[in-house]
A and B are shown apart, each in its own frame.
Chain A
Amino acid sequence: MDRVSVLETEISELRRILKEKENELQELKSLISDQQSSKELNNHSQPISDASKSSVDACLPKWAIERYSRQILLSDIGVEGQVKICSAKVLIVGAGGLGCPAAMYLAGAGIGEIGIVDYDAVDLTNVHRQLLHHESNENTSKAFSAAESLRCINSKIKITPYNVQLDSKNAQQIASAYDLVLDCSDNVPTRYLLNDLCVMLKIPLISGSALKMEGQLTIYGYRRQDHHQETYIGPCYRCVFPTPPPPAAVGSCSAHGVAGPVPGTVGTLQALEAIKYVIGRTERHLLVGRMLLFDGEDATFRAVKLRPRRPACVACGDRGGGRLIDYEQFCNAPAKEKDLDLEVLPPENRVSANELNVMMNNEERGGRHLVVDVRNEQEYAMCHIQGSVNYPVENLHRNLEELIEKTKEFDGVVFVCRRGNDSQVVAKKVLDVTDKERWSKVKDLVGGLHSWSKNVDPDFPVY
């Protein structure tokens, strides 16, 4: 055992030194490449290619032709496309399940500059799908962790991490350095912010989203001007969704789960659309005015037709846009993955984890209590308080009466769930049909099983 801990210590020390040296190398390289790239790839001002105007191949250095040859071989891309890719600047908002695969493919393809925004830190529950982050990155900045992995994929491109929460104050300054934005975020306010921002900057927004087994993808605010100076503009997010959804209708990966390859698929397709946009494909080939619906459960893809741009749209309409607002207020939700703290029940109908523990161990004095876990069957199977019974909230429209009958066999009932929101909702439903003298017997666990793990049973998994 001693040898194990000695090796672990040595390895982590070596890793620290390795990282220092990598950082040093990275800094040196970026200094050099800043000087070189303007010579090598920004061909437009280069005298040599000016002389042979039509032969764009002179613009790609040997290393780039070799490195990117497999995609240059495509007639869709070619040398001309690769030159565009190498000088493109893409901002990715969110280094999560969508942002990681999107960034990996864009870095691999040689996108000249990639910015990656995320305020959050790596959590071990992220690693099953956010493949730029590794176990050793736990608790470190996602933006930095992603940038570090991307540099391992491609050291020839510029990668800028932004370890900030994007908001109405900083968004414009960050995004104005880029040609297009990928919405890989996980919340409604950020989605509206990015839409209004991109409309304002007149750059497209490649918007992906995923939850459980499903994903959605489209490009908002696409603009094209043809030779006759006629402008085509595709719909923006607000053209299609002028009003934000009620917060209770918004699901999150942390509360509802997600299969890793689902955002993986959507993020990968975001990268593909980004590459197609960069090389000059138009709305005829891009997901503009269409939304791709991916259902991983049935393995189906369906591209449905969206409405056109609305001239009356408050963002992209003829008299719309122009400023960013307070999006958390507009959406009545925080700009992070939602974990609500509901207060449905009055304090006298709530118990703490410690109180519940005492109740369960003191039946002679306090009476017999039924502990009802309202999470879904999968969650209950993962872990549950011993002696509790499972009545998933999603099935209660069928078996609420059965549950109420069962509670009558006990002196009291305590509802529990993961964080103490659904448990209140169910307790409220039961209270609504309970006689007033029994009201004090119906309770829920404040803070849910998270609190149980923290205060009573440290071996209880937190997820």
Chain B
Amino acid sequence: MAETLTVEVMFGGGAELLFNKVKRKEIALPPLKTFLPDSQNQNWTLKELLIWLKDNLLVEREELFLKDDSVRPGILVLINEEDWELHGQLNYELKENDKIMFISTLHGG
């Protein structure tokens, strides 16, 4: 059996409500080509991870998580506790044991 890639996804700030209230979960991603045979990329990036999350973990209104092929405005994406802007956003290539967080911003007070 081909190797899987293990990463941890975390949801907070209300984003977990879209994922059946799961706040953290370790996921094992199959080889990219078995999940998305047509993918341009050789390896998993954030872009494919979003598709995988949509297909496998998202249970609620997709428009509250995704917009176009990225996350919707107001969700902060963190790669190992750093803003994904610092790491190439959608093009970031996932590594074993990466921690990817999706934090919805809060506005209450």
Contact = CB atoms under 8 A, between A and B. Distances in A.
Interface stretch (A61-69, A242-250, A410-418, A438-446): A242-250
Contacts of A337: 108
Nearest to A396: B60
A212 B109 CA distance: 10
Nearest to B106: A209
Interface in B57-97: 59-61, 63-64, 72-76, 78, 81-83, 85-86
Contacts, number: 113
A307 B108 contact: no
A240 B83 contact: yes
Interface stretch (A91-99, A103-111, A280-288): A91-99
A97 B86 contact: no
B109 A304 contact: no
B74 A241 contact: yes
B82 A209 contact: no
Contacts of A253: 108-109
Contacts of B30: none
Contact of A258 (B63, B74, B108): B108
A397 B59 CA distance: 7
Interface string A286-329: 00000101010010001011110000000000000000000000
Nearest to B59: A397
A183 to B, nearest CB: 8
B108 A186 contact: yes
B51 interface: no
B107 to A, nearest CB: 5
A24 B57 CA distance: 63
Contacts of A187: 107
Contacts of B59: 397-398
B14 interface: yes
A252 B107 CA distance: 7
Contacts of B108: 97, 186, 209-211, 251-253, 256, 258, 263, 337
Report the interface size class on chain A. Answer: 35 or more
B107 A304 contact: no
Interface string A416-430: 000000000000000
A250 B75 CA distance: 11
A246 B64 contact: yes
Contact of A397 (B60, B63, B105, B107): B60
B31 interface: no
Given A248-B64, A251-B14, A307-B86, A216 B74 contact: no
A215 B74 contact: no
Top 3 closest pairs, chain A to chain B, by CB:
A245-B74, A243-B73, A307-B85
13 contacts: A209-B108, A214-B13, A241-B105, A242-B73, A244-B73, A246-B64, A249-B64, A251-B108, A258-B108, A263-B108, A304-B83, A307-B85, A397-B20
Interface of B: 12-14, 17, 20, 23, 59-61, 63-64, 72-76, 78, 81-83, 85-86, 101, 103-109
